[in-house]
Chain A
Amino acid sequence: MSLKDLISPFYVWQRAFEKPYTQKRPIEDRPGAPRYRGFHMNSEECIGCGTCESICQNHAIDMVPVEGLEQRAGDSGLRPRFDYGRCCWCALCVDICTTRSLHLSNHYAWVTEDPDAFHFTAGTDAMPWNQNSLGYRRDDDYHLLVHDRVEMQALSAEESVAGFDEVMRGYTEEEAVLEADRCVECGICVATCPAHMAIPDYIRTVRKGDYEAGLRLLYETNPFSSTCGRICTHRCETVCVMGYQGDPIAIRWLKRAIVDRVPQEKYREILGDEVEENGKTVGVIGAGPGGMSAAYYLRRQGYAVTVYEAQARAGGMLRYGVPSYRLPDNQLDKDLEYIRSLGVEMRFNTQVGRDIPFTQLLDEHDALFLAVGLNQPSALRIAGEEHPRVLSGLRVLDDVASGKDPGVGKRVAVIGGGNVAMDAARVSRRLGAEVDVLYRRRIEDMPADPEEIRESQAEGCTLVPQAIPVEIRNASDSNQVTIVWGEAEMVADDKGGRPRPVLQEDRMHEETYDCIIAAIGQGGQIDFIPAEFRDRIEFKWNKFVPGDYQQTGLEKLFVGGDIANSRADAISAIEDGHHAARGIHRFLSGALDG
């Protein structure tokens, strides 16, 4: 062994005192393969549903608020933040992404001395690869989610138009589980539901077949679950994340799947509602969904509740405005009877202002909840509308619901495009009439539920869109009536509103019918509020404008339902009633003094 061999190992020691030399980055960039799984990217389509977080097997994803990003209906305002200390680039998050906003870029080399930098919110934090167009994306034909809704059995159009049997037959247990299985349980829908029902939670009970737990969840926020399981306007479904790539979850039908499987006799035992009287009394004006919802939640808290109702039966517009082929009487009664079974006192045929003065109620009760609804048909405001063969849609529905023949005849024109118009048209079909529905805008502008529009067409109603009524005249036969209407052109609105229909006076039509059913909306009636209280209550266009907890400036008076909100649907009235019950409880226990 030479001396050099002996000494040379020690040469390396001279390096021991030098600064370590680490190459900061690859000498040259090597782009990843086109479908390489690199760092995450997230596009503006993200709505913060958190499904990526739920599926991540490495707990690498947190949902976090992002500055400057507002939460709104259908968007939680949260965005996924990735911890690259845990991510294994399996891309399950990309494959499951409900809006397809999440991708992996093919950018894989990134060098920084700050380990916290590998913990960022994709899409909103500025990263070098945010504009990268390559990387891993889910293939079009690869799906982890089931996009098609389980269809519900329904009567055929021929069967349904032949009578008043319920058209939608309900899910079987197996169908309900399959539909419930599609839900990713993100809960984005809960904010949009006016009653903020625990939607993902009750859908989970359907999946497990635990209908008793399901019923308890429903009644936390909605004592009209059998009704809403059938006719709810299901605003929740409009924001359902499954709707981005397929059909939204049939949330309404799954609610029905629960209540249809629990007999009413078992409600009390399952819900465990016990009333401990607290010695205070609340008067409720109107036995519709708003009033009865308030009655239920107030009764649960021990208030003695008396409901004053102008009609002979409870249910309000649900009974007198919704035909039985959509909501059978026994299903509405199932909801109402349970509420009444808690000891709610009902005073039927008692119209406030006519049969009993408002002031008396104010004196007799510790608080009042008023939800009288909208029951004044709006006028057509055209010449001749006082003709005896011009009927109101509400009256026709009311007659049918009460077992009376509204006498619509054999040929009917319905004017309007809302649910009342559709129901009046479909009821007339069932009574044997040929029906034309005249609506001033386009079919897609109709405020009625899309399924009502579809079903009315299937049942043989003829929709005549862009038709503006101009005048109503006597027909040669005094049992008939003639309408003059003109075609409309849709004209873009300069102010950015929806297009306006403009009458084309050179394209007028004249038709004679056995009757014309006017169903262009309803207004409220507030004459029963004595003048002395009026200036303490805020009104706008014959409607109440409630404050916090549905309270008015007359602090014993709380209001809700169609006469106090702009949405005018059952579920909003139900929440108004529930919210007013919270407010009344706070008011009467001193926490809310107006």
Chain B
Amino acid sequence: MANAIQLLADFGRNFTLSDIREQRVDLAFCKAPKEQAVRLIRELRDDAGYTHLVFLTNTDYIEQGIFTLTYMLHNYDARHTLGVHVDLDRNAAEMESIHNLWAQAATYQRELREMYGIRFPGSPRLDEDFCLEGWDQIPPMLKEFDTAAFSLERFHSREGRGSVDPSEHMKTLLYPTHSDEPSSGGS
């Protein structure tokens, strides 16, 4: 849609939009402040033809201390998709719910609560288990969640497993005498 950037420029008069980027002719992105995002999305739905919520997802930017939500909206008439990014403080991750705009958003929000611990006050069945029944760890999509350690602890391995370190293996076979005895002062 040639006028996606124009559209966002128009919206920019009432909203503080940033990082406006046209990725493809049928796909554009922008970033909105947390306080304005739901009002923006509502106006995009009601006034600009973006009637379909394609999905709602999140990315963990642990180094910057933020989560970035992505609301993916689609305009069937214009055959155009618009992604709205919203940064949240990672340490106080809470966002206004949009289940009143699209009922299915409640499911996405329930998933985000489970996978990242993000709160959406008022969203139906928010705290019910989504797909992790009986989960007792920190939310698993957080970058600090150690997937490998969890997997090793939780699931047993088949018998007969065993791995060899490549450089140790090569040392044993290729240059076994080229190492210091413990008494040599090496450690």
Contact = CB atoms under 8 A, between A and B. Distances in A.
B170 interface: yes
B157 A85 contact: yes
Interface in A153-202: 186-188, 190-191, 196, 200
Interface in A23-56: 48-50, 53, 56
A359 interface: no
A250 to B, nearest CB: 19
A71 interface: yes
Contacts of A58: 147-148, 151, 155
Interface stretch (B64-72, B99-107, B172-180): B172-180
Nearest to B167: A187
B144 to A, nearest CB: 14
Main secondary structure of the interface of A (DSSP, over half): mixed
Contact of A56 (B148, B165, B168, B187): B148
A65 B180 CA distance: 25
A297 B165 contact: no
A71 B187 contact: no
A199 to B, nearest CB: 9
B186 interface: yes
A50 B166 contact: yes
Nearest to B168: A187
A398 interface: no
B158 interface: yes
Contacts of B157: 59, 83, 85-86
A57 B148 contact: yes
A50 B177 contact: no
A: interface residue count bin: 35 or more
Contacts of A77: 169-170, 173
B148 A49 contact: no
A78 B164 contact: yes
Interface in A76-91: 76-78, 83, 85-86
A196 B158 contact: no
Contacts of B183: 301
A273 interface: yes
Nearest to A88: B151
A588 B76 CA distance: 87
A187 B165 contact: yes
Contacts of A423: none
A46 B71 CA distance: 41
Interface in A302-340: none
B134 interface: no
B167 to A, nearest CB: 3
Contacts of B162: 62, 64
Nearest to A549: B177
Given A58-B147, A187-B168, 6 more contacts: A50-B166, A71-B170, A78-B166, A115-B158, A300-B185, A579-B178
Q: Which 7 residue pairs are nearest across A and B when measured between Cβ atoms?
A: A187-B167, A76-B166, A62-B163, A191-B170, A57-B147, A300-B185, A190-B167
Interface of A: 48-50, 53, 56-59, 61-65, 71, 76-78, 83, 85-86, 115-116, 119, 186-188, 190-191, 196, 200, 216, 220, 273, 297, 300-301, 548-549, 575, 579, 582, 585
24 contacts: A53-B163, A58-B148, A59-B151, A62-B162, A63-B163, A63-B164, A71-B173, A78-B169, A83-B161, A86-B155, A119-B161, A186-B166, A186-B167, A187-B165, A187-B166, A187-B168, A196-B171, A273-B185, A300-B184, A301-B183, A301-B185, A549-B177, A582-B180, A585-B184
